[in-house]
Chain A
Amino acid sequence: MSKRTTRRNVLAAGAGAFGYATLQTEPIRAAIPAVAAYQAEGSTWTPRLLNPAQGELLATLCEHILPRTDTPGARDAAVHEFIDLELSLADGDEQLAALGGLDWIDRRAQQLHGSSFVGLGAARQIDMLREISDEHEAHPSELVAGAAFFSDLKRRTLFAFYTSKVGRTEALGLPDRVRVERFRGCQD
């Protein structure tokens, strides 16, 4: 049986794993202007596990991993919505790790730049992700938790993006419906 954990005890349990007293989720929301902007644009998405601020933070991170280029990016494919849905159904440990990771990002942003992550310019955001990304074989101890979160998020983003309709059809160029095909095999 997988552990079914309520949101409340996830938040309470957060204390130990990431070394801070409580995951302050609600107050952060008010503090971040970008959220207001995002919502003002008429988004109808209501996150399930995350609060809107965390949702926007997640969307921003995912878009950095798979940005819009000449093909659509993570936000176009609503990757953050899928990850929120998946996390809302995951067990407590998994939820805890993700929520703790998002919080880690914001605390690091506060520590380095005195701002939430979403409040930073793109260049600074990218620099912050560089230091925890898997381009490095090892990370200094204060970045280990962030690096673990990054690699988990990258795995989730890849799945959510490339299994989406947009990812499948526009990024990978595959048909959105099954077609009649023939298997040709090795022609060499």
Chain B
Amino acid sequence: MFSDTKTYDAVVVGSGATGGWAAKVLTEAGMDVLMLEAGRAFDPATDFREHTLPHDMELRGRPDPRNELLQRRHRQSYCYACTEVNADFFIDDVDNPYTEAPGTHFNWIQGNVVGGRSIMWARQSYRMSDYDFKAASLDGYGMDWPIGYADLAPYYDRVESYIGVNGRKEGLEILPDGEFLPPMAFTCGEVMLKETLAEKFNRPMTIGRNAVLTRRHNGRDMCHYCGPCHYGCRTNSYFNSPQTTLVDCEATGRFTLVPDAAVIKVDMKAGDLASGVTYVDKNTDQTREAKADIVVLCASTLASTRILLNSAEGGLANESDCLGRYVMDHIYATGVRGVLDARAGAQPERANRPNGIYIPRFQNLKDPATKNPNFIRGYGYQGGENITTWQHGNGIPGFGADFKNAVQSSTVSTIGLGGFGEILPRPENRVTLDPEVTDKWGVPVLQMNTTLGSNEYAMVQDIIEEGRAMLEALGCTNITQNTEPAPLGSGIHEVGTARMGDDPKTSYLNQYQQSHKVKNLFVMDGSCYVSIGCVNPTLTMMALTLRSSEYLLDQHQRGELA
């Protein structure tokens, strides 16, 4: 039970991928932790719906205009993972609006349940390398991270060992290996692609590394390949916080989780110290205060930034003017797809592999031959082979019994490659408080003001050209492409709005995600990113949270945070 009179050792805001880690470390070390979560309570036993088949749904999974949950998620439904099965995992756009500066677009996809987006995420889990942490030193753009790969490697090890990440060791500097469970298998079309890339392009390709159990691990069952993990997983076979970190928190007996509690601001006391937070109890619409010796924001990058902007005029402790700036995400939605005739008629497996292939960044590496003069940094491809069961019927002429037999006795294999490219940290890509619009509870909302720059557009062009070249070399026909990158946010990898650094003049947080100014305030989600690299960010976020939480503990024990 939550108590407003008690002062907790720490309050953690947000119960998603990062919040779960922070609370696990602190509770297991003996601290009394309050976790406030804006989303509703969530019970995997009743809320998970991964075995829903098309015929279980009246419209077979197509968007249903009568569905009020979906209507209230008109922005969330941009995301492939938000459907009538799980719309209630996502935030209500009507009650929780955000705005966009004129002429700009931003897709902000948010969870709104205990577990946040760790429930819907696609689980791709890659390590960043010093190409990313030290990118500025390599090409002169922006700022290095205050830490390097060696600082984070032990934490990557521990996070991977705990959550369970499958993958294949490749020995690549750009994509460091980890503590992997057995890798998932390639399809035959993917084997052909891998061979083509090795022979004709000298490019490595690996199976996706993802947080799904390929064997029993830490008391959790292995994956049974049903496929739609974004609807949940009753066998607990992929990483999400409610089935792992939060369970550990509960087990300590020192954990108080309050759902439906949307934090508005960080409260302050004398000596530039935080005293707790103010939040809205969404069940009563009342504002309440929670007191704690240490405040840890893990509400996800932009939500944490919004809290800090709402905490003081001009943003709490924002002398650096970094808060809200340097919004980054990944270039998303551009790529190519082609038909692999050599695999026509191949039988799809009944099992549904919740994973794809990965082609790591292959340009602008130390080898001068990899230099691309058109842009700095780089991109990787995610994708794989898809075999149709009936969808190819639209391409078979005619109708009737022969047609039906033709549909049912043939299959078409396609190979898709989607680029995930690094977006540069630019100060003018920023979020601010909208001067007019508030949410349902009267709290000012974010206005997004972000665009892609010339480096990103040059990269998009290359994603298409290289993608086409690889598919052509593989022998694909009917190659189609998408050259239009989606607006920022669409990659759902938003980071960077309270970046870390050694110098308080040019950064908001130090390398332990601690406010330079308010020493008992930590922001342990993706806000701290200095540059984003091109791999999916959540594994790195969790490794950072683990590292910073242990630093917090150490400082707390030394009495440095009071």
Known contacts A171-B408, A183-B225: A162-B188 contact under CB 8 Å:
no
Q: Is the CB of A69 within 8 A of B405?
A: yes
Q: Is A120 an interface residue (CB 8 A)?
A: no
| Chain A residue, CB-CB nearest to B228 | A178
Q: Give the number of chain B interface residues (Cβ < 8 Å).
A: 43
Residue pair A135, B398 in contact (C-beta under 8 Å) = yes
Cβ of B512 to closest chain A Cβ, rounded Å: 40
Taking a contact as CB atoms under 8 Å apart, the answer to whether A134 and B398 are in contact is yes
A95 to B64, CA, bound (A): 16
- A184 contacts which chain B residues (CB < 8 A)? 185, 349, 351
Complex interface: chain A residues within 8 A of B390 (CB)? 158, 161-162, 167, 172
Task: Contact check, A163 vs B350: say whether CB atoms are below 8 A apart.
Answer: no
Interfacial chain B residues near A182, Cβ < 8 Å: 224-225, 351
Is B224's CB under 8 angstroms from A180's CB?
yes
A86 to chain B, nearest CB (A): 7
**Nearest CB to that of B192 among chain A residues?**
A186
> Which of chain A's residues has its CB closest to B74's CB?
A1
A interface majority secondary structure: loop
- Render B47-64 as a binary contact track against A, CB cut-off 8 A, 1 for contact: 000110111001111101
One of B59, B184, B187, B393 near A86 (C-beta < 8 A): B59
Expressed in whole angstroms, the Cα–Cα distance for A67 and B398 within the complex equals 13
Within 8 A of B (CB), among A152-188: 154-155, 158-165, 167-168, 171-172, 174-186, 188
User: Within 8 Å CB of B349, what residues of A?
Assistant: 181, 183-185
A81-109 to B contact mask, C-beta < 8 Å, 1/0? 01001100100000000000000000000
Q: Are A86 and B62 in contact (CB under 8 A)?
A: yes
Q: Is B399's CB under 8 angstroms from A181's CB?
A: no
B232 to chain A, nearest CB (A): 13
How far, in whole Å, are A131 and B399 apart by their CA atoms in the complex? 12
> Taking the nearest CB of chain A, how far is it from the CB of B337, in angstroms?
19
In this assembly, does B2 line the interface, its C-beta being within 8 Å of a C-beta of chain A?
Answer: no
CA distance A176 to B397 in the complex (A): 29
Q: Of B59, B353, B389, which one neighbours A172 at CB under 8 angstroms?
A: B389
The listed residue with most A CB atoms (<10 A of its CB), out of B54, B190, B353, B399, is B399
Instruction: Judge if B78 is at the interface, Cβ distance under 8 Å.
Output: no
- Cβ–Cβ < 8 Å partners of B351 in chain A: 181-184
* Alpha-carbon distance between A2 and B64 when the two chains are bound, in angstroms: 12
When distances are taken between beta carbons in the complex, the residues of chain A under 8 Å from B188 are 186, 188
Does A126 have its Cβ within 8 Å of any Cβ on chain B?
yes
Given A164-B55, A185-B184, A188-B188, are A159 and B60 also a contact pair (CB < 8 Å)?
A: yes
Residue of B nearest to A90 (CB): B65
- Asked if A143 is an interface residue, CB under 8 A from chain B, the answer is no
Which of A154, A161, A172, A186 lies in contact with B187, CB distance below 8 A? A186
Chain B's nearest CB lies how many Å from the CB of A10?
16
Partner of A176, one of B53, B58, B62, B186: B53
Say whether B366 faces chain A, with CB atoms less than 8 Å apart: no
CA distance A67 to B207 in the complex (A): 41
How distant is the Cα of A165 from the Cα of B61 in the complex, in angstroms?
13
B186 touches A133 (CB 8 A): no
Which residues of chain A are near B389, meaning CB under 8 Å?
162, 172, 174
Residues in chain A near residue B54, CB distance under 8 A = 163, 168
Residue of B nearest to A136 (CB): B397
Interface of B is mostly: loop
Interface residues of B in 365-408 (CB under 8 A from A): 389-391, 393-394, 397-401, 403-405, 407-408
Residues of chain B with a CB closer than 8 A to A162's CB? 389-390, 393
In the bound complex, do residue A89 and residue B400 qualify as a contact, i.e. CB atoms below 8 Å apart?
Answer: no
A-B contacts, CB under 8 A, total: 114
Chain B residues with CB under 8 A of A28 = none
Q: Is the CB of A67 within 8 A of B404?
A: yes
Give chain B interface residues in 1-40, CB to chain A under 8 Å.
Answer: none
Please tell me if A64 contacts chain B, counting CB pairs below 8 Å: yes
Q: Is the CB of B64 within 8 A of A89?
A: yes
Is A34 an interface position by the 8 A CB rule?
no
Does A66 sit at the interface, judged by CB under 8 A? Answer: yes
Knowing A66-B404, A162-B389, A183-B349, the reply to whether A168 touches B187 (Cβ < 8 A) is no
A11 at the interface (CB under 8 A from B): no
Task: Check A67–B185 contact: CB distance below 8 A.
Answer: no
Q: Using a CB-CB cutoff of 8 Å, which residues 131-145 of chain A contact chain B?
A: 133-135
The B-contacting residues of A in range 107-150, CB under 8 angstroms, are 126, 129, 133-135
Known: A69-B405, A168-B55. A181 touches B400 (CB 8 A): no
Proximity bits, A66-80, B CB within 8 Å = 1, else 0? 110101010000000
Structural contact, B62 and A179, CB atoms closer than 8 A: no
Counting CB contacts under 8 A, is B198 at the interface? no
Contact: B55 with A154, CB < 8 Å? no
CB of B214 to closest CB in A, whole Å: 9
Interface string of A1-15 (1 = CB under 8 A from B): 010000000000000
Q: Please name all residues of chain B whose beta carbon is closer than 8 Å to the beta carbon of A64 when the two chains form the complex.
A: 399-400
Chain A residues with CB under 8 Å of B226's CB are 178, 181
Residues from chain B with a CB closer than 8 A to the CB of A85 are 58-59
Q: Is the CB of B403 within 8 A of A65?
A: yes
- Among A163, A171, A172, A174, residue most surrounded by chain B Cβ atoms (within 10 Å): A163
Given contacts A69-B404, A155-B394, A172-B408, 18 further A-B contacts (CB under 8 A): A65-B403, A66-B399, A86-B59, A133-B397, A134-B398, A162-B390, A162-B393, A163-B54, A164-B55, A171-B404, A172-B389, A172-B390, A178-B226, A181-B352, A183-B352, A186-B187, A186-B191, A188-B188
> Can you offer 8 A-B residue contacts whose CB atoms are under 8 A?
A86-B59, A133-B399, A161-B390, A177-B53, A179-B350, A182-B224, A183-B184, A185-B185
Query: Which 4 A/B pairs are nearest by Cβ-Cβ distance?
Result: A185-B185, A181-B351, A186-B188, A162-B390
